[in-house]
């Protein structure tokens, strides 16, 4: 038999912890005549089991269920849940690590970024990444368009190809060009360098505006100034 103090020492926990587990019904002590708690070997085993489950990340409610379960079904389903939870935590932590690296790179490049400062920096990083991905996607489709167009023209001219194939090539080229243009328009918005307002313009204003790789010459719909506005993912 062990007193609360002896059990605590044996399992390297505090007396208060044992008292708490006792109150929660996880441990069952025998009371002596003078009201003191005593635990047998079964109690010791039970406490060791509880501590192992704690180390595996289960909460006291889960542990209570595990202990009350006569077969191991509760434990098996809790293990599945726990594994899923830990995997999610690992995923979140690696995303945090990636964001930290991106933040570092971002700060090295843009110590004074003239964008919408009210937005969080992480939002900005994500958008910068998405805009980059969009541009790469559209560039790849653009290269395919060139291949299809020139392929069908050369095939028609030098190999006396059927006119149908030339027309089909032109049709695909037009459809893909329309697709990338619409896609680009829908997924971009602009930030006014004067008032930091984020806005979108009509398709025709957007299409015919002068532009550089990262900006477009547009009129801000808040301060009405015309500037080269910074392109952002929408
Ligand atoms: Zn403005």
DSSP string, 186-209: HTEEEE-TTT--EE---HHHHHHS
Q: Distance from the CA of 142 to the center of ligand 1, in angstroms?
A: 32
Give the closest residue to 216 by CA, choosing from 203, 229, 200, 233: 229
Q: Distance from the CA of 84 to the center of ligand 1, in angstroms?
A: 47
Helix (H, G, I), strand (E, B) or coil at 43: helix
CA 159, 160, 163: angle at the middle one, nearest 5?
A: 125
Tell me what the mean pLDDT of segment 110-116 comes to.
55
Q: Distance from the CA of 200 to the center of ligand 1, in angstroms?
A: 12
What are the C-alpha distances in Å from 196 to residues 6, 90, 143, 175?
67, 37, 34, 35
Q: Distance from the CA of 139 to the center of ligand 1, in angstroms?
A: 30
CA 225 from centre of chain: 37
Q: Are 192 and 220 in contact (CB under 8 A)?
A: yes
How far apart (Å, rounded) are the C-alpha atoms in residues 4 and 23? 13
Q: Distance from the CA of 63 to the center of ligand 1, in angstroms?
A: 59
- Look over the chain and give the mean of its residue pLDDT values, rounded to a whole number: 86
How far apart (Å, rounded) are the C-alpha atoms in residues 113 and 121? 10
The pLDDT value given to residue 119 = 52
How many residues are present in the chain? 234
Q: Distance from the CA of 211 to the center of ligand 1, in angstroms?
A: 17
| Interval 132-152: pLDDT, tens | 888 898 899 989 988 888 888
How far apart (Å, rounded) are the C-alpha atoms in residues 43 and 30? 10
Between 113 and 96, name the one with better pLDDT.
96
The pLDDT value given to residue 13 = 94
Q: Distance from the CA of 175 to the center of ligand 1, in angstroms?
A: 35
Q: Distance from the CA of 176 to the center of ligand 1, in angstroms?
A: 33
How far apart (Å, rounded) are the C-alpha atoms in residues 200 and 210? 15
**pLDDT higher than 70, residue 114:** no
Q: Partners of 41 in the beta sheet?
A: none
Q: Is the dihedral of CA 76, 77, 78, 79 positive or negative?
A: positive
Return the top range by mean pLDDT from 105-109, 121-125, 184-188.
184-188
Give the closest residue to 216 by CA, choosing from 233, 203, 208, 228: 228
120 confidence band (pLDDT: 50, 70, 90): low
Q: Distance from the CA of 182 to the center of ligand 1, in angstroms?
A: 24
Tokens linked to 200: 């979108």
pTM of the prediction?
0.46
Q: Distance from the CA of 196 to the center of ligand 1, in angstroms?
A: 6
Q: Distance from the CA of 127 to the center of ligand 1, in angstroms?
A: 20
The pLDDT value given to residue 151 = 87
183 exposed, middle or buried (CB, 10 Å; 0-12, 13-18, 19+)?
Answer: middle
Q: Distance from the CA of 35 to the center of ligand 1, in angstroms?
A: 78
Residues 6+ apart with CB under 8 A from 182: none
The pLDDT value given to residue 185 = 93
111 confidence band (pLDDT: 50, 70, 90): low
Percent of the chain whose predicted confidence (pLDDT) is above 70: 94
Q: Distance from the CA of 185 to the center of ligand 1, in angstroms?
A: 20
């Amino acid at each position: 038999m062990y007193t609360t103090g002896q059990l605590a020492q044996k399992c390297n926990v505090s007396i208060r912890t044992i008292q708490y587990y006792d109150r929660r019904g996880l441990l069952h002590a025998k009371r002596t005549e003078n009201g003191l708690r005593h635990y047998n070997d079964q109690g010791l085993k039970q406490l060791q089991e509880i501590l192992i489950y704690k180390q595996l990340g289960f909460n006291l409610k889960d542990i209570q269920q595990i202990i009350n379960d006569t077969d191991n079904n509760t434990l098996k389903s809790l293990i599945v849940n726990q594994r899923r939870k830990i995997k999610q935590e690992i995923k979140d932590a690696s995303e945090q690590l990636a964001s930290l690296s991106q933040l570092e790179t971002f700060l090295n490049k843009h110590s004074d970024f003239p964008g919408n400062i009210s937005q969080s920096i992480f939002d900005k990083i994500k958008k910068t990444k998405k805009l980059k991905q969009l541009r790469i996607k559209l560039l790849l489709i653009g290269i395919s368009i060139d291949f299809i167009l020139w392929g069908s023209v050369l095939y028609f001219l030098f190999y006396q190809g059927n006119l149908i194939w030339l027309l089909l090539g032109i049709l695909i080229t037009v459809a893909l060009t329309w697709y990338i243009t619409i896609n680009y328009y829908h997924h971009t918005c602009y930030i006014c360098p004067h008032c930091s307002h984020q806005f979108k313009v009509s398709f025709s204003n957007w299409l015919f505006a002068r532009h550089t790789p990262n900006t477009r010459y547009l009129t801000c719909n808040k301060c009405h100034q015309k500037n080269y506005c910074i392109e952002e993912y929408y």
